[in-house]
Amino acid sequence: MPVPSAQPPAPSPLSAHLSAGFTAPEFVGVRELFDSFLVEDPHYSAQLAVYRDGDKVLDLSGGPLLTRGDLTGTYSCSKGVAAFVIALLVQDGSLDLDRTVSSYWPGFGAHGKDRLTVREALSHQAGLPGLAGGFALAEFTTPEAADRLAAAAPLWRPGAAFGYHTLTIGILMEELCRRTTGTTLQQHYDERIRRPYGVDFFLGLPEDEEPRYRAVLHDADPAGPWLDPMSMDGIRSNAPVSTIMELPNHRAVRAAGMSSAGGVGSAEGLARLYAAGTTGVDGAAAFLNPATIGLMAAEQVSGLDRCSGAAKAFAVVFMKPHPGQAFGSHLAFGHDGANAALGFADPGYGLGFGYVPRRSEEGGTGGRAQRLSAAVRRAAQSGVR
């Protein structure tokens, strides 16, 4: 499948670049900020949605390329979506964060990994950010990929450091779900979260939803074939993608719904998911209780990431805010994506937030997404109920 051209379309009239959709009165300032991005850049197109205390207060789209009802790739926002499945397994008692991974998955204990806990593995401490030779795209969601990862020697003593497991954390989550439930993480998500709560986000996009998909637009990657930051192959060099940015634009990736980077959805879907899990939506209770939220959202590691050298902070799977990525209060948890998409919950404000651009943005979520999240928190604080 050819990569969408990075060349922007011809600008359309200014009126076509202002947002459409629902805005609660106290969030008008957020809409004005969103519209200012559209005015500044006639080629900008994005979705923004927010729930507050279970009620939808913003549901916007703007620009010519991504309208309400469209779906697009969100890259590592998928990790945050999959983490809600892990949270349900913890809440059910099927998965104990303080048991070893090998107690559920005996083969994982090879090469000194037998003492690694689930909590450590799912906060990027396993020392398995990639494997020499990489994975084929079709492998990522299979037990065979899990077997290869289990047999690998870690790059550091498990639990002694953390480094972002860009793609392999999805393999870890999926195998733990498979071992504890007998079903795939994607099936568990669909049956327990997406369909019951009407979440417009897919880990495995059905064929009949394909007409809604809009390919992510991105600039060519000057680095050539994608390698993870430790210079170990993430995707095999003969794969039909030369950069991680191409992943969701391949039907096979969208269909498989790899939980590390293959999710497809809308901003409204992300916001609704985080709200459904923490505050509840449509008058229904949250599907996670406060104790589970506390376990999953508690910061596990922070500081310089062993793989990227950048400042990062993680809870169990979820990202945590920090000075370089201040998307929420100290209670917030969520995940961003390589195209600058962002989904998070902030229990301190009762928020579920989703932002999805059509074109990948420079500066990631430290740019427009962070400015929008700050404006949302200001609006929520000024309109305390």
Does the pLDDT of residue 340 top 80, yes or no? yes
pLDDT for 355 equals 98
Q: Is residue 315 part of a domain?
A: yes
Residue 383: which pLDDT band, with cuts at 50, 70 and 90? low
pLDDT for 63 equals 93
Q: Is residue 143 part of a domain?
A: yes
Q: Is residue 2 part of a domain?
A: no
Q: Is residue 124 part of a domain?
A: yes
| Average pLDDT of the chain, as a whole number | 90
CATH of residue 280's domain is 3.40.710.10
Between 223 and 133, residue with greater pLDDT: 133
298-301 contact pairs (CB < 8 A, 24+): 300/119, 300/120, 300/123, 300/125, 300/162, 301/123, 301/124, 301/125, 301/162
Give the range of the structural domain holding residue 80, as residue numbers without chain letter: 20-383
Q: Is residue 8 part of a domain?
A: no
Distance of CA 269 to the CA centre of its chain: 12
pLDDT tens for residues 155-171? 999 999 999 999 999 99
As for how many domains the chain has, the answer is 1
pTM more than 0.85? yes
pLDDT tens for residues 40-78? 998 899 999 999 999 999 999 999 899 999 999 999 999
Which conformational region is residue 347 in: left (phi greater than 0), alpha (psi within -120 to 50 degrees), or beta? Answer: alpha
Q: Is residue 355 part of a domain?
A: yes
pLDDT for 229 equals 45
Torsion of CA 139, 140, 143, 148, to 10 degrees: 80
Q: Is residue 30 part of a domain?
A: yes
Q: Is residue 296 part of a domain?
A: yes
Does the pLDDT of residue 135 top 90, yes or no? no
10 Å Cβ neighbour count for 162?
A: 24
Q: Mind spelling out the 3-state secondary structure of the chain?
A: CCCCCCCCCCCCCHHHHCCEEEECHHHHHHHHHHHHHHHHCCCCCEEEEEEECCEEEEEEEECCCCCCCCEEECCCHHHHHHHHHHHHHHHHCCCCCCCEHHHHCHHHHHHHHHHCEHHHHCCCCCCCCCCCCCECHHHCCCHHHHHHHHCCCCCCCCCCCCCCCCCHHHHHHHHHHHHHHCCCHHHHHHHHHHHHHCCCEECCCCHHHHHHECCCECCCCCCCCCECCCCCECECCCCCCCCHHHHHHCHHHHHHCCCCCCCEECHHHHHHHHHHHHCCCCCCCCCCCHHHHHHHHCCCEEEECCCCCCEEEECCCCECCECCECCCCCCCEEEECCCCCEEEEECCCCEEEEEEECECCCCHHHCHHHHHHHHHHHHHHHCCC
